[in-house]
Amino acid sequence: MAGKIEERVELSQDRHHGIVESWLYPANVGLAKVVPLSLGYHISLPIADLCYWLWTSKREGALRNYARMLGCSPEDERVQRLARSSFRNFGKYIVELLHVQGWSKEQFQRVTIQGDEHFDEALQHGKGVIFASAHMGSIEVGSALVRMKGFRITSVMEQLRPKVMMDWIVTCRAKMGVSLLPTAGTGRQLLRALRREEMVALIVDVGYRDNGGVPVNFLGHPTYFPAGPARLARISRAPIVFGVAVRRPGNRFIAYGSPPILSDRTKDAEEDIRDLTQQLVDIFERFVRRYPDQWYVFRDMWPGE
């Protein structure tokens, strides 16, 4: 009986994935080629505003985080404005997730790149590259740009519901050359990718978690950030490059890449991991201060929130 149930589940999953591959993804690409990005943004605004009022837990999380960042009450007008704008920018990100699938190389001319040379610098170490980013700006534009440099990318992602949404994102990433793995138990696969001199992409702002995280100072307050990128850099000796792509006026983007960060193996392992993580947090913090409403800050980022 159990075997038959598992077989039915697998058949259902295969059917969902087949629908995405054969119908949903081609429709996505076709629409992206004919619907202007600006129109997609316009359509997303009322939907994002509706989500802001209906998705209570995420709204309150954003308000708490922005209040801590600004040092004021969640009821403060500046906090309310930032939180609502963050939801609107997240709506634009969903549009970009759809739209970038239909972009030609010429359309990437709307993206200005700062720090492109840092990827070449990181490659010279011959250890692969750990690309660290955050829930900020346009993850899709950033991923596409990195892929255009010829990298094979392996990343991790939490399971999403409904299943068809997860299949859609996995398919979109695969078409862009990104292999997605589960968040747990994939360390060896990530190391193997680096040993093949490929790229491993990881997100650093997964919310406050002291279990498996390391203590850091973020926006003037103590918290914890995941140690994964630093531990991987320590073991593999691969450099870390932090990067984000953010929106600019006129439906344009600017993508940033940081100078490579290297593990210092003369230090105690845990000290090295804390220092590497703090360096990443310091770089990320500069982008948060510059583009606060392009940070999708829907999870609590500090203890006691």
Each residue's pLDDT tens digit, 93-124: 989 888 887 777 777 888 888 998 999 999 99
Determine contact, residues 58/294, Cβ cutoff 8 Å: no
5 dihedral zone (left: phi>0; alpha: psi -120 to 50; beta): alpha
Average pLDDT over residues 241-246: 94
**Confidence grade of residue 21 (pLDDT, cut at 50, 70, 90):** low
Task: Write the single-letter amino acid at 183.
Answer: T
In the prediction, which pLDDT does 264 show? 95
3-state secondary structure of 159: coil
Other beta carbons less than 10 A from residue 126's beta carbon: 8
SS3 content of the chain, % helix, strand, coil (to 5): 55, 15, 25
Torsion sign over Cα 67, 73, 75, 78: negative
In the prediction, which pLDDT does 16 show? 47
> What is the per-residue pLDDT across 178-207, written as a single tens digit (0 to 9) for each?
787 777 778 889 999 999 999 999 999 987
pLDDT at 1 over 60: no
In the prediction, which pLDDT does 20 show? 59
In the prediction, which pLDDT does 12 show? 42
3-state secondary structure of 4: helix
In the prediction, which pLDDT does 305 show? 61
Helix axes 77-99, 25-34, angle to 10 degrees: 110
In the prediction, which pLDDT does 52 show? 97
User: Which pTM does this prediction carry?
Assistant: 0.87
Of 48, 49, 194, 207, the closest CA to residue 123 belongs to 194
In the prediction, which pLDDT does 77 show? 96
pLDDT at 126 over 50: yes
pLDDT at 49 over 80: yes
CA atoms of 65 and 276, how far apart (whole Å): 24
Of 160, 164, 155, the closest CA to residue 186 belongs to 155
**Confidence grade of residue 22 (pLDDT, cut at 50, 70, 90):** low
- Please report the domains of the chain, with CATH numbers, ordered by start residue: 110-294 (3.40.1010.10)
Q: Which is higher by pLDDT, 13 or 162?
A: 162
Torsion over CA of 16, 17, 20 and 26, rounded to 10 degrees?
Answer: -150
Of 206, 210, 193, 219, the closest CA to residue 68 belongs to 219
Beta bridge partners of 180: 155
In 129-239, DSSP assigns E strands to 129-133, 153-156, 178-181, 199-203, 213-218, 221-226
Determine contact, residues 144/103, Cβ cutoff 8 Å: yes
In the prediction, which pLDDT does 210 show? 65
pLDDT at 208 over 70: yes
Most confident of the ranges 23-27, 238-242, 301-305: 238-242
